[in-house]
Amino acid sequence: MEYRRLGKSGLKVSELSFGSWVTFGNQVDIDLGVACMAAAYDAGVNFFDNAEVYNKGKSELVMGAALKKLNWERDSYIISSKVMWGSKENPKPTQMGLSRKHVIEACDQAIERMGCEYLDLYFCHRPDPEVPMEEIVRGMTELILRGKVFYWGTSEWSGEDIQKAYDVAREFNLIPPTMDQPQYHIFHRARVEQEYAPLYNPDTVGLGTTIWSPLASGLLTGKYNNGVPADSRANLPGYEWLKEILTGEWGQARLEAVHQLGKVADDLGTSMSRMSLAWCLKNPHVSTVITGASKVEQVTENMEAIKIVPQLTDDVMKKIDEITAGLAE
């Protein structure tokens, strides 16, 4: 495992990390959470990602219980949460959004659920146009000054909004965002590769990225080539939207490309999921690739992607580009 700086910050994150979206509190209970996190940690993973909205707080409760059982040294790993939609089934207006009130109270609640004293990373899960940028930046700065958060960032913010947050921080002597958590995979590239390009300059924003959905919600594993398996998360209650994506026009238009990508992986002597994760790691502006798993075997499989990176030569990368031409957004 290699460790990359989170943008221009001094924090080093493992190039592969482990996330709990969908799985924890749903497919993964405490004991399985312990096993999966232990497998990732033993492979060198030091960043574990979470959010208040994941399974309405249950994901953080499961991760917190798992961390208690694992009893790792607190300074040996990084945990995160995200704030925006709240952790309630039907949140009241003050229990969601990026108001200073919710940002600070949600941080306290996440810390309590995960049984820790602080969060290493705290993300604004999406932009909130109803809250002034200065209020958001001041709220995050206050949490850092209180010692409840070490670094704050954004998720799926536009490059323009990230730049605005940075400018506001510099204008009022506040702490700017360190990272964004954008979607990034073979079929979804524009934001990370183009829109954020000016933000990577270490002389200005120096943005880090903790990218999510590197396997395009499972499409890039090949498991949906012949329909949606019965045990797929796409069949879980509340994830009908995922099934619609995979079986709808977007997913169907990319199935032939997935078949061709599978042949490229075969030629490399690896799986398509490993190749797809390695493809993300080839981008030097990716600080860490968040992986997910509901089985220990999947964790082990994902960690092997590190070995594939050297095999992705310019010729292989060009072949992947040719296969996905017109399909990558």
CATH of the domain at 17: 3.20.20.100
Is 66 inside any structural domain? yes
**Per-residue model confidence (pLDDT) at position 252:** 83
The total number of structural domains that make up the chain: 1
- DSSP strand pairing (3-5 vs 12-14): antiparallel
In this structure, the dihedral spanned by the alpha carbons of residues 317, 318, 321 and 323, taken in order and rounded to 10 degrees, is -110
The percent of residues in the chain predicted with pLDDT above 90, rounded, is 86
> Taking a C-beta distance cutoff of 8 angstroms, is the pair 328, 186 a contact?
yes
Is 43 inside any structural domain? yes
Is 326 inside any structural domain? no
Mean of pLDDT values over 72-97: 97
Quick one: residue 309, left, alpha or beta (phi over 0 = left, psi -120 to 50 = alpha)?
A: alpha
What is the set of active-site residues?
A: 54
**104-152: pLDDT as tens digits:** 999 999 999 999 999 999 999 999 999 999 999 999 999 999 999 999 9
> Taking a C-beta distance cutoff of 8 angstroms, is the pair 82, 124 a contact?
yes
Is 202 inside any structural domain? yes
In this structure, the dihedral spanned by the alpha carbons of residues 239, 293, 36 and 210, taken in order and rounded to 10 degrees, is -100
**Per-residue model confidence (pLDDT) at position 249:** 82
Identify the domain containing residue 31 by its residue range: 3-216+281-304
Query: Going by C-beta distance under 8 Å and a sequence separation of 6 or more, which residues neighbour residue 66?
Result: 30, 33, 34, 37
* Amino acid at residue number 32: L
Is 324 inside any structural domain? no
Start-end of H helices in the chain: 30-42, 58-70, 100-114, 133-145, 159-171, 190, 240-247, 249-268, 272-281, 296-303, 314-323
> Taking a C-beta distance cutoff of 8 angstroms, is the pair 296, 35 a contact?
yes
Is 166 inside any structural domain? yes
**264-318: pLDDT as tens digits:** 999 999 999 999 999 999 999 999 999 999 999 999 999 999 999 999 999 999 9
Is 310 inside any structural domain? no
Q: Which two tokens stand for residue 14?
A: 């493992």
Q: How far apart are the first and last CA of the chain?
A: 29
Is the Cα dihedral 274, 280, 283, 289 positive or negative? negative
Query: What is the spatial distance between Cα 315 and Cα 321, in angstroms, rounded to a whole number?
Result: 10
Query: What is the spatial distance between Cα 4 and Cα 8, in angstroms, rounded to a whole number?
Result: 10
Q: Is the pLDDT of residue 236 over 90?
A: no
Average pLDDT of the chain is 95
**245-264: pLDDT as tens digits:** 777 888 788 999 999 999 99
Q: Which two tokens stand for residue 118?
A: 């602080």
pTM: predicted TM-score of the whole model, two decimal places: 0.94
**Per-residue model confidence (pLDDT) at position 247:** 75
**Residue entry with tokens 């940002």:** 103
- The DSSP code sequence of 98-163 is S-HHHHHHHHHHHHHHHT-S-EEEEEE-S--TTS-HHHHHHHHHHHHHTTSEEEEEESS--HHHHH
Is 260 inside any structural domain? no
